[in-house]
Amino acid sequence: MVIYGPEGSSKTALLRQAMVLLREHGYEVIYIDALAESLGGAVSATPGIGEALRGLLRSLVGEKIQGLVEAVSVLVREALRRLERPRLAVLLDDAFQAIGLGRVEAYVKQLLNLIEYPGAEYDRLVVMVTSSEGRSRIVLSRHAWSMSLYLWNMDMNGLRELYEQLPGDKPGLGTAWRVSGGNPRVLRILYAMGWSIEDAVAWLVEEKRA
């Protein structure tokens, strides 16, 4: 499952939440933040898979995050070998930025191979990858190797929850929804700019220029 959406559209939040939910459904989960600054901060894993992969992960110390992202298939095959018919979920956040856009197709095919030819039995295997790279969406649409899902914003209820926590004077929820498009990052920018659309636009233009 490849989840495509612009920056600030809650992809990371979705994967973090998926980790909790999958765990509740009996999954061992490994989450890799491919844009993390250090290898240590890049990986979160449930205890079972953390235990199974400790040695392998340790051997990657000193590697760049890219090495870890590239090694995902090896990690998963090893986990499948060690755990008994597990429910396993692999969540790869912004993986394509780490491996480079030229390798998106090969990488996703490799992930599909993992599901189709795992080398050991599993009960369920879920692989979710997020991307904000428009080009990855185009190259993957040529193939049937993945299921692309789009995440543009939070729904109205999600945005309402966020909106209600913002202190101070604010425009009505309808305006906040219309102007932010439900994108939490845009809502944050508007809040920081005192709800001035002109200031928010000027700030964005300046930021892009830099």
Q: Quick one: tokens of 32?
A: 């890799």
Q: Quick one: tokens of 113?
A: 């191979």
Q: Which member of 8, 12, 23, 171 binds Mg ion (CB under 5 A)? A: 12
Query: Are 189 and 204 contacting, i.e. CB atoms less than 8 angstroms apart?
Result: yes
Query: Are 88 and 79 contacting, i.e. CB atoms less than 8 angstroms apart?
Result: yes
How many binding residues for Mg ion (CB under 5 A)? 2
Quick one: 38 or 165, whose CB is closer to ligand ADP?
A: 165
Q: Quick one: tokens of 64?
A: 């760049």
Kindly identify the residues of this chain, within the stretch 147-166, that bind ligand ADP according to CB under 6 A. 154, 158, 161-162
User: Least distance (Å) from ligand ADP to the CB of residue 17?
Assistant: 8
Residue 171 site contact among ligand ADP, Mg ion, none (CB < 5 to 8 Å, cut-off depends on kind) = none
Residue of minimal CB distance from Mg ion? 12
Quick one: 9 or 146, whose CB is closer to ligand ADP?
A: 9
User: Least distance (Å) from ligand ADP to the CB of residue 9?
Assistant: 4
Counting contacts by CB under 6 A, is residue 11 touching ligand ADP?
yes
How far is Cα 152 from Cα 104, in angstroms, rounded to an integer? 21
Stretch that binds ligand ADP, among 4-12, 30-38, 52-60, 78-86 (CB under 6 A): 4-12
Query: Are 36 and 94 contacting, i.e. CB atoms less than 8 angstroms apart?
Result: no
Counting contacts by CB under 6 A, is residue 104 touching ligand ADP?
no
Quick one: 41 or 194, whose CB is closer to Mg ion?
A: 41
Half-sphere exposure of 35 (CA within 13 A, CB side): 10
Per DSSP, helices labelled H in the chain are 11-24, 39-42, 47-59, 65-70, 72-82, 95-99, 104-116, 134-141, 156-165, 173-180, 184-192, 197-209
Q: Which member of 2, 4, 5, 200 binds ligand ADP (CB under 6 A)? A: 5
Residues interacting with Mg ion, by CB under 5 A?
11-12
